[in-house]
Structures are given as C-alpha cells and as structure tokens.
Structure 1
C-alpha cells in the first residue's frame, strides 16, 4: 500500500552546488518554505559520522514543516536518524533487504531507467520509482542512457493498476519542468506524481523563490491535468470549426503576426511568399544565437527539417525551447524523416527538448515518426495508399505526442487526440510542384500566429499545447491553402506547373471569406 506522500516537488540535496557563503541548512529551510514536499539527502563523499550529523539536523528542519526525509543509499544513516525512508539505485542494496531492515511503514524508492527496472520495482513492492535521467545533467555522471521526456510515458504505462508513484529526475528545472510534466504521459493518460529537482533550487541564492516558482508551475499544471488532450472540450461541428477558422483568417489580415520559420531551403522563398499572401509577416532565421530575442516577438514558430544540417538543428533546438518559454505555438514539419537515421535521431532530439503544438506530415513521414511500418516513404514522399485507418492513427498519435496532428494526403485528417476532422479540399496540381507540403506548414503556422492574437482566458492554452485552439489553426491553415489551389485552377490562369504556383499565391492573396465558406469541405469524423 503506497503511503500518503506528496511527491510533487522532490528536492535532492547536493551541498557541492550551494552558492558561495550559502549555508546548507538555511538553504534547506528556505526551500521548504517555498513549497518542497519531500527531501532526499544525497551525500556521496561524506564520512559516516558527518553524514549522520547532516541527516539528523536536516530531519529536524523537515519535521518542522511536516515533510518526509529520505536518505540516499544508506540504510544505516536512515535508521540512525529515524528518516522516513530510503532511496536506492540499481546497484545498491536489493529492495527486499532494504525493506527487511527498515521499520514497517518506511518509504522505499528505487531508480529506474528502463522497462525491466520498472517491472522489477513493481514485483519488489516499492512505494515510488525515480525515472531518469530525463534531461542531461551535471549533478551526477550518467551510467545509463537518457530516458527523455517522451520515453517516460512508456515506463508509466507499466505502472497502470498499481499504487506505485512516479517521480522524474535528471536535469529538471524551471525552463523545462512544464515540458516534462506535459510530455511525460502514458498512452492511457498516466502522468507523473512529481519531479525531482537539484541544482535549480540548491544552486539558487534565493531557494525559497526558486522552489515557489517550481511549485506554482506544478500546481497550475495539475489543476489543468484533468482536462486531458482537448483542453476546451466543446463539441465540434463542421460549421463551428469553419467559423473559428474564419475568425483566425480575419485576425491574420488585421494583425499581420510574425511567423518565424526555420524551413527547407529549397522552398524558403515560396514559404515566405505564401505567408505574406495570407497577411502574416515571415522571418526566415536559423542561427541559435538569435532565438531568444526572436521568441520575445508574439507569433508562432515553424520548424521544417527538409534540408537538415547540424547548424540549423542547433537553431531548431534553441528556437523551440525559447518558444515554449514564451508560450508561442510550435509547428513541426518532419519532412523526409523516414529517409535516414540522422533525421530520425534529430526528430527524437527535437521532440524530447521542446513541446510541439502541431505536427504536420504526409503518411510516410508520420508513419516513420510514430515507428509504424504500415506506410513506407521514398525521400519526402509516401509510397502506397496510406493508412488503412487514418482516423485512429491521427487520434492515437496526437494522444501519444500530446499535440495536434495533421495528416496530409488526398484527404487531410486533423486531430487533437479527442476529435478527428477530415478535410476534402485541394487539387491534384499541388502534388506536381515542389514544396506544397512545406507551404501548408507555413499556412498552419500563420494560423497559429493569428490564433495567439485572439483573446484567451487560460494561460496554459495560450502556450499552444494540444487543444481545440490549435486544432482550429491546423484546420484553417490547411483549408485556406487547399481552397486557394482550387480557386487558382478554376481561374483559367493555370497552364501547367510553371503558372500554377504564382496563380496559387495570387489566389491566396485575394481569397475572400465568401470563397472559403462556399468551397470549404470540413467533416467531423469523431
């Protein structure tokens, strides 16, 4: 039976990280005042007498705030100071021995890095597991591979049906804690019970405020957690979705929001021109050195890996991280991700570093991203007829990645993990020009930027995480682009692929609300 313990903000001490002239006990008490809910004393180099003294004084402080004290590794120290429990690693004393030595009711936690570790922990009947490392960390040398934010969900799946709690550890700080909480979720929706923090609190000159900031983020997230992937939950209708899309379309025209694009150099000019035709303002910047400044300008970010190289990848990593911190929507276009292991590794790194709002791709790209072999790809193109059940596929991928997913093809499918919308517009000419998919990404990002210019009540919703607002943006961006293609061909100005692209840009530039309403074919699937 799991003890009634609040694991939400789990402090792991490390005296070596204290600022100069900062007293350890003073720092500990201030962190408790800031909202730390459980403390683990970790002393890898202290002699036994010193360790016992530190633990005993720490327990007095923790008892003052009714916070459990856990000892890392050392059962003897835990017994000496009457600590609440012990945390052990995979190479430390076996859990069954630990449980025999500790008093009944003691808390026992164990570090887990893979599924086998979790299964063993379940069999051993531990109270909680520490999953990590989630991020790269300098507080301890890593002997096991990084789990990554998205890898945590796989381990959480194994805890279904148990009372064992889960805490993420490794490199967690104020700049990535929300990404950790939001992205670390199982297929069934099992989320973390807490996060373990070291340097962000211990190294602070003001640990009380550092802890309070982290605690505030955790509580705000947990207040939203029950809302699930679709944070609004309003029942959808085709007309209702179209009405929302038109509202965003109008906002783009009136506010000209910035759309920052790190995109395929093959179609960079077309993407910029498409963005301008919609009424938005493009900036095609790739250097990691300017990403923090660019994130301060309201709008949206598009990351397209079509011509991926190491230098642009560094810019992509930085841009998404700063966009998350600035609550800006992030659109990811995993162009040709199935073509090479380099691209697959890059996408994994990007998705483990920042939270994406919308993933847009064709069947081959999304199949490669999800790890299924149902659809093959050839370069940037899909091979075959696509998924047998595209509706279930996009819904499941949206739930797994905690974002809106747009599957493009003859019929486009968009899902937030709750609803699925089928879009039946477009023209075959789009498949005969280079970069039509990349330009769709620019349109979606423009609609995300337009959406952020509209008033919203909820702070987390404005972060661009999975919700119906981002669903409207994805549907709107795809619909206006495809309707513009139909209007361009119907104009009689298209004689082939050479004249189609400028006609498409012109049609998008002149596209009216009436033309969208008249032509849009939006159908709710679920």
Structure 2
C-alpha cells in the first residue's frame, strides 16, 4: 500500500456486483465507464467467488481505479486487500473486529464499517474507523440485510452519533438517481451534520450506460454538497422582518390570482368540497386526483401538491404523487391528519416521509407531536388534548430541522418555522373550530400560496414584477405564513358580518371572504411576530 493514507472523496461510492451486469456488458469496461462518470471510491464485493478468482478481479479492478486516482476497498477479505495492496477494507458487523483488522493492515489503510444503529455508530467511532456506511436507507434486492430499514429520517439520528468526530458517513442500500436527492436532503442531524456521500450498486452496475448513470448521480450529489451552506428554503433577505412577510404574502396572493395555478390535492373525503371551494376562492384551480397512474403527468402541470391523509385512502397514489412532485421540484405540503390516533397512521406517515421530501408539514399539536415522538400533547381522534407545548417556538424550530421542512403548527396561535426563523401568528376566529375541515383548509391555503410562489418563480412573466417583489419569490416560509393568514384573517372578516349568526351561516360567508382577500387586507390585518 502507499505510504500515506489517501485523501478520499466519498461523494459517489460504487459497490460492485458482477451478478447485476446487463447481458453482454463486460465488468471491467463497466467499472471504467463508471469512474469516468464520476465514481470517486470503489468497493469490490464478491460474496460468492473463490479466492483465486476474487484475487484476479481485485487486481484488475485496482489497475483501473488507480489509473484514475480512485481509491479501492475490498469488502470483508483482508487477505485479498493485503495481496493486491488495496487502499483499505469495508467490514460488516459480523466480520472481523476493527482492532484486529487495524493490526493486520498497514497504518495508512482505510477502514469502513456498516452501521445500522446508534450503538453501532458509537462503537465504530470508538474503534477508530475512517467512515461508516449508514442504512439500510431503503429495502434492496442486491443484499439481504439483517437489520430493518432505517429510512431517510432515521439516518439523521445515526449522524448525530458522529458529531464531534472526524469519521465520514455514506448512506447505503436502495439509493439511485431518482431518490438520491431526497436521501441527501432528508439525512441530516438536528445540528446540521450531513452525509459525505452515497453508496450505489444496481443503479450503476446494472445500467447499460454506466458512464451516464454515474454522471447523473454524481451531478446531484456534487450540486447538493456545493449548496449545503446556502439557505435551504429562503430566497429572502435574512434576518426576516415583519414587513418581509406582509409584502411577500401579498406578492404570492397576487400571483395566485394572476396565474390561477393548478393545485393538486389528495385529501380526505370529508373535506373535498370545502377544500376545492377554498382553492377557487383564493383564485387557483383545484384538482382532486388520487390514481398513481396520473401522478407523473399532474406533477408537471400543477403548481403544488397537498397530501392530506385524513381518511388514508389511496396510499399508493400518495406515495407516487410526492415522489413525482419531488422529481419536478414542485412544492409538497403534507397534512398528517390524526397521525397519532392509530399505529397504522403512524406507519403510513413514516412510509410517506421516507419516500419523498415534503416542503411544508402542517398539523395541530397532537399531529406534530406524534411525528416528533413527543409525549407533551395527546391525541383524541384528529384533535389535540391538553394545553399544548410548553415552548411551541422551540418545538417547531427543532422539528423543522429534523424533518428538513417548513413546519406549520396550528392552534389558538399558529407557529411557522424553517428551522431558523420562528413566526407566531395571532389571527383567527372561534367559528373555525366549529366547522368541519377548517384545519384541512389551512393545508389547502398553504398549498395554494406555495403554488403561487412556485408559479411566479418559474414564469417568464415574473420579470414584470417590481424588484422588491423578487426578494421573496419562491420563499416557502413566506408562502406557508400566507396560507395560514388567508384562512385566519378571512375568518375574522366573516365572523364580523351581520348575516353570520352561527357556524351554519359562517362557512359560506368565510368562503366569500377568502375570495375577497387582497394583499392590502392581509398586510393591514396580519398579526405577525418574529420570535
């Protein structure tokens, strides 16, 4: 082995698997094309090959890797690593202990270990590994795993155990070009520790064009890593001021009325009519579609997606919808209605959040508490029980960091956070609690404002807007605040009308007042505090 430990770029870590090669594709040819496409580290894995053949494959692989200055690791077999002078080894939880491997290998050898739990990570750090492979992120056909799927959201917890160390981290299992961005974006610890790279097998090895398969993933990874120090959601000046929000929500309401964006809603059947009417009143166009087969086309046409799983029907459609909207970089609003009420709801929410990345998560205290595994607030069906969180501002800030999404906590006062800024909104009227679906209509309004922001950002006609309006274009935090304010301020106008005598007359008046909202009304009546 070389005298100094090589500097390793973990961005795109290829794990080989010759059994996955497409018919007629030569292994060494595929390997070289993959490296030319952007693979930065290679692990040779040969689980069912005798020693002689493994040695030959490893030698030939090393020649190609070192031709391009790419380090090569050997899976498990320290004897093979020593025989060919590999740059290091990757070992699993049931393979040779790290301390023995370290004694056998030269001091400059790279040692990586697969870790599936926080305890695994802590032990690996203690043992002095150079990197850990965290997962499985998703189920995979390329390797039977002894541990349950961790999921994208579970990777963040594993990353927490690395804080304070120099140990690098890559995500493993089921990663491909269509989900790698979600994996990178969602796999972040609350303090901001992110992945150093991703390990990929079949999406490259099984491709007939490994050069472009690798290039596609490498471009995503490198772009993400280059932007990790930039604001994730905000295109507005920082720090925020109240006028930023008042101005921004007006810009987005005007965009909704001007462009009438399509707002795709998968929502519970109790509130379909109210949600459609609220969307129309604000100036957008609703479509309620649930078939998985429609999602690819709709995600290209619509300005935003709302997934409200109050009656948890068409889970396949929900999975397909978020995935396709992520692929088309469109806002996704998730409203996990009653998520804490049953185990099935909690399991379904986890399934969705591990399949795609929401832009905004909206819920009451019980719903968001269930997502955060908090015991402060209890659920009674779709409602919250108790006095709420002791520190709601800290709660929404921390949950936004954990979920990498804008969080909207609804209640007597509403809290919105992007993980840094927390906004408290104090508008609203008691009648909202006396009609069915008012909370769901908040999700609709948030999705509508997000659609307005998204459409404005992508429209060539947005060049006509003033320079000050461009400051908040595309800002999902402002859009989320706008959606909440639209519902709560309209409710105040409706309740003050002389024709409103109770909840029965309130609902139609409320829809009327949603339609009568203007940027000036929102700015004049919004009760906004930045905490």
Normalising by structure 1, what TM-score? Answer: 0.96
Instruction: Check the 8 A contact 1:416/1:468 in 2, yes or no.
Output: no
Deviations along 1:461-485, whole A, 9 cap, x unmatched?
Answer: xxxxxx9811011100110111111
Matched, 1:287 2:287: no
In the alignment, structure 1 residue 84 sits paired with structure 2 residue 87: yes
Distance (whole Å) between structure 1 residues aligned to residue 28 and residue 9 of structure 2: 22
**Contact 1:230–1:418 (Cα < 8 Å) also in 2:** no
* 1:47 corresponds to: 50
Cα drift, residue 240 of structure 1 = 1.5
Q: For 2:522 and 2:420, how far apart are their aligned partners in 1?
A: 25
Asked whether 1:259 is paired with 2:255, we answer: no
Match of 2:448 in 1: 446
Residue 234 (structure 1) shift: 2.0
User: In structure 1, what is the equivalent of residue 230 of structure 2?
Assistant: 227
Whether the 8 Å CA contact 2:5–2:109 is kept in 1: the answer is: no
Distance 1:84 1:246 in 2: 58
Q: Are 1:229 and 1:417, in contact at CA under 8 Å, matched by a contact in 2?
A: no
**Structure 1: segments with no counterpart, 5+ residues:** 458-466
Match of 1:8 in 2: 11
Give 3-state SS (helix, strand or coil) of 1:449's partner: helix
The structure 2 residue matched to 1:218, chosen from 221, 246, 249, is: 221
**1 CA distance for matches of 2:493 and 2:75?**
67
Superposed displacement of residue 298, structure 1: 3.5
Partner of 1:489: 495
Match of 1:521 among 516, 523, 527: 527
Match of 1:341 in 2: 343
1:108, distance to aligned residue in structure 2 (A): 0.6
Kindly state the Cα deviation for residue 455 of structure 1 after the two structures are TM-superposed: 2.6
Q: What is the rounded CA distance, in whole Å, between the counterparts of 2:272 and 2:5 in structure 1?
A: 55
Cα contact 1:229–1:418 (8 A) shared by 2 = no
Cα drift, residue 187 of structure 1: 1.2
What CA distance in whole angstroms lies between the structure 1 residues aligned with 2:103 and 2:420? 47
- Answer whether contact 1:3 1:127 (CA < 8 A) is retained: no
Cα distance between partner residues in 2 of 1:120 and 1:30: 36
Q: 2:475 aligns with which of 469, 477, 485?
A: 469
Give matches, 1:86-165, under 5 Å: 86-165=89-168
CA–CA distance in structure 1, aligned partners of residues 125 and 5 of structure 2: 12
State the distance in 1 between where 2:93 and 2:5 align.
21
| Per-residue CA distance 1:374-403 (angstroms, 9 max, x = gap) | 111111111122111111111111111111
Q: Deviations over 1:329-371 (max 9, x none)?
A: 0001111111011101111111111101001111111111111
The Cα of 1:146 is off from its aligned counterpart by 0.5
Task: Supply the RMSD in Å over aligned alpha carbons.
Answer: 1.5
Q: Provide Cα deviations, 1:83-103, integer angstroms capped at 9, x if missing partner.
A: 111111111111111111111
Residue 515 of structure 1 deviates from its aligned partner by: 2.2
* Residue in 2 that maps onto 1:372: 374
Look up the SS of the partner of 1:321 in the other structure. helix
SS at match of 1:453: helix
Post-superposition CA distance 1:242-300 (Å, at most 9, x none): 10110000000011111111101101110011001111111111111211121111310
Tell me which of 500, 503, 518 is aligned to 1:512: 518
How far does residue 513 in structure 1 lie from its aligned partner after superposition?
Answer: 2.7
1:241-390 paired onto structure 2 within 5 Å: 241-309=245-313, 312-390=314-392
Bigger shift: residues 291-300 or 249-258: 291-300
Show CA shifts across 1:413-446 (max 9, x none).
Answer: 1000110111111100000011100011000000
State the match for 2:469 in structure 1. none
SS of the residue aligned with 1:40? strand
Q: Indicate how the Cα distance of structure 1 residues 231 and 427 shifts in structure 2: closer, same or farther if over 3 A, else same.
A: closer
Contact 2:265 2:307 in 1 (8 A): yes
Alignment-derived partner of residue 436 in structure 2:
434
Q: What is the deviation of 1:52? A: 0.5
Preserved CA contact (<8 Å) 2:491 2:513? yes
Q: Secondary structure at the match of 2:475?
A: helix
Post-superposition Cα deviations, 1:32-79, rounded to whole Å, max 9, x if no partner, equal: 111100000011111111110000000000010000000001111111
* TM-score relative to the length of structure 2: 0.95
Q: Secondary structure at the match of 2:73?
A: strand
Unaligned runs of 5+ in 2: 460-472
Structure 1 residue 80 displacement after superposition = 1.1
Match of 1:463 in 2: none
Contact 1:35 1:215 in 2 (8 A): yes
Verify the 8 A CA contact 2:34 2:204 in the aligned structure 1. Answer: yes
- Distance of 1:2 and 1:346 partners within structure 2: 45
Task: State the alpha-carbon separation in 2 of the partners of residues 51 and 19 from structure 1.
Answer: 20
